[in-house]
Amino acid sequence: MSSTAEQIAKNARFAGNVLKTLSNEDRSTILYKIHDALKASKNDIERANKLDLAAVEETGLSSSLVKRLDLFKGDKFDTMLQGIKDVADLPDPVGKVNFARELDEGLTLYQVTSPIGVLLVIFESRPEVIANITALCIKSGNAGILKGGKESLNTFKEMAKIINGTLADNEKTTGVPVNAVQLIQTRQDVNDLLSQDELIDLVVPRGSNALVRNIKNNTKIPVLGHADGICSVYIDEKADLVKAKRITVDAKTNYPAGCNAMETLLINPNFPSWTDVLTNLAEHGVTLHVTQEVKDALKEQGKLTGETADKVVDANESVDFDKEFLSLDCAVKFTPTALDAIQHINLHSSKHTDCIVSEDKPNAEKFLKAVDSADVYWNASTRFADGFRYGFGTEVGIATSKIHARGPVGLDGLVIYQYQIRGNGQVAGDYLGAGGNKAFVHKEIDVKTVTL
């Protein structure tokens, strides 16, 4: 098996080396061709997708899985097709000059964006990811190895056949290598691919946190993504009650299964209307896992009654503040100051998205500066953490790592840069620091004037 994985990775590396030299037009042209081919084969894909759905329904797996698997629910298939064209039409992320500097006369340094190289994308049940990732890889000049889950096997096989066929048919005319995207089926051991750290540059998992965690634990290749989305909202002493109620309800109930949903609510006990925030959440069907302190205070204020009483349960303090409920549940505790909230978040959050609700600008600025998460908000719902909402056009995923790219990641997260020097025979030995007497000029060049 291992040699197969190595061969796949080598094929990708070679394809990537060619892909990175092609023009934006070449890369976009093949995406249009893939779009047309998938569109023309809609019936075949639908047939394959129905086989996958039938198999899943037989096993009695969850309806949410079926929903994710069904490529023909509503306008999902057409949206997928449109997505390929949208990516094709985006500005070229490759070959952009970030900065240029004259080192000396006729010796110029350029920092130019370039593809990362080879991406391994592992996903579970959403078959539209195949088209989505194919488009993102080719547009960004990266070779992609796509590994689908067993639930979507038939759909995957059918779409792989069409994409591979389109690549093969157009290799000569567009120059895009047939191995630019390799679609690997479930028989292949994913661990063999994850061990190809010399050839694969980045792993992008798309799926459950169990999947992401498993991948992170089993590879030396950098992983772009997030396992958990433990997002917190902190209601400051000087919060606006209307904002606090609206934000907490939206953050928790708009899409509880989303990674950007609120899982922890931190309350400043000096905020006079804090009980209203909790009773309002209870009215919206949220079960509040509260600390003893919060429970006592609710009781003391006579609020532990009716609907609220039904929705208040004891928090298991050792686990609930590190938990992604992904349901209409929320852990609640007091943090007596903004600093306490910051410290709680920096210890317990998954570095995804955290929010302060406050009218106190210094406290809010302190929060924005101190919280160590990819996305930090002041008076806005955590649910805004999303590539579409940020205006990135398309999204690779949301990253919670600390290097390379954080938060919603667009095409920019799939490129890196190279330094180019263009000279006319200069040698280091002529310059100060390497034995010579010449000094460097180090004069910035306006990138707008640069054409390479």
Q: Strands 262-267 and 231-235: what pairing?
A: parallel
Residues 6 or more apart whose Cβ sits within 8 Å of residue 448 = none
Among the residue ranges 79-87, 131-139, 318-326, 383-391, the one whose residues contact a copy of itself (CB under 8 A): 383-391
Q: Minimal distance in Å, beta carbon 443 to a copy of itself?
A: 9
Which residues, listed in sequence order, are joined to residue 120 by a DSSP beta bridge? Answer: 145, 203
Sites for a copy of itself among residues 354-373 (CB under 8 A): 357, 365-366, 368-370, 372-373
Amino acid at 10: K
Q: Minimal distance in Å, beta carbon 307 to a copy of itself?
A: 21
Among the residue ranges 41-49, 146-154, 203-211, 374-382, the one whose residues contact a copy of itself (CB under 8 A): 374-382
DSSP secondary structure of 303-349: --SHHHHHHEEE--HHHHTT----SSEEEEEE-SSHHHHHHHHHHHS
Q: Does 284 bind a copy of itself (CB under 8 A)?
A: no
Q: Whose Cβ is closer to a copy of itself: residue 157's or residue 213's?
A: 213
Q: Whose Cβ is closer to a copy of itself: residue 73's or residue 369's?
A: 369
Sites for a copy of itself among residues 307-346 (CB under 8 A): 342-343, 346
Q: Minimal distance in Å, beta carbon 173 to a copy of itself?
A: 20
Residues 6 or more apart whose Cβ sits within 8 Å of residue 114 = 20, 94, 95, 141, 415, 416, 417, 418
Q: Does 409 bind a copy of itself (CB under 8 A)?
A: no
Q: Does 424 bind a copy of itself (CB under 8 A)?
A: yes
| Residue 423 phi, psi dihedral angles, 5° rounding | -130, -170
| Structure tokens, 141 | 């000049």
Q: Does 24 bind a copy of itself (CB under 8 A)?
A: no
Please tell me whether residue 104 adopts helix, strand or coil conformation.
strand
Q: Does 394 bind a copy of itself (CB under 8 A)?
A: no
Q: Does 117 bind a copy of itself (CB under 8 A)?
A: yes
In whole angstroms, what is the distance from residue 277 CA to residue 266 CA?
11
| Residue 266 phi, psi dihedral angles, 5° rounding | -105, 130
The answer to whether 133 touches 147, Cβ cutoff 8 Å, is no
Q: Whose Cβ is closer to a copy of itself: residue 309's or residue 368's?
A: 368
| Structure tokens, 177 | 């290598």
Q: Whose Cβ is closer to a copy of itself: residue 299's or residue 361's?
A: 361
Q: Whose Cβ is closer to a copy of itself: residue 208's or residue 343's?
A: 343
Show the DSSP H helices in 20-75 as ranges.
24-40, 42-59, 63-69
Q: Minimal distance in Å, beta carbon 82 to a copy of itself?
A: 14
Q: Does 20 bind a copy of itself (CB under 8 A)?
A: yes
Q: Minimal distance in Å, beta carbon 218 to a copy of itself?
A: 10
Q: Does 176 bind a copy of itself (CB under 8 A)?
A: no
Q: Which is nearest to 70 in space by CA: 124, 126, 122?
A: 126
In whole angstroms, what is the distance from residue 116 CA to residue 202 CA?
8
Among 255, 257, 314, 447, binds a copy of itself (CB under 8 A): 255
Among 427, 439, 447, 450, binds a copy of itself (CB under 8 A): 427
Q: Does 446 bind a copy of itself (CB under 8 A)?
A: no
Q: Whose Cβ is closer to a copy of itself: residue 121's or residue 374's?
A: 374
Sites for a copy of itself among residues 188-247 (CB under 8 A): 201-202, 216, 220, 222, 240, 242-243, 246-247
- Binding mask of the shown chain, residues 51 to 90, with x at each position contacting a copy of itself by CB under 8 A: ----------------------------------------
Could you tell me the sign of the dihedral formed by the alpha carbons of 194, 166, 410, 390, in that order? negative
Q: Does 442 bind a copy of itself (CB under 8 A)?
A: yes
Q: Does 435 bind a copy of itself (CB under 8 A)?
A: yes
Residue the block writes with tokens 């995957």:
156
Helix 361-370 to helix 338-348 angle (10° resolution) is 20
Q: Does 374 bind a copy of itself (CB under 8 A)?
A: yes
In whole angstroms, what is the distance from residue 105 CA to residue 380 CA?
51
Among the residue ranges 153-161, 272-280, 322-330, 427-435, the one whose residues contact a copy of itself (CB under 8 A): 427-435
Q: Strands 443-445 and 97-104: what pairing?
A: antiparallel
Q: Does 445 bind a copy of itself (CB under 8 A)?
A: no
Among 164, 209, 291, 379, binds a copy of itself (CB under 8 A): 379
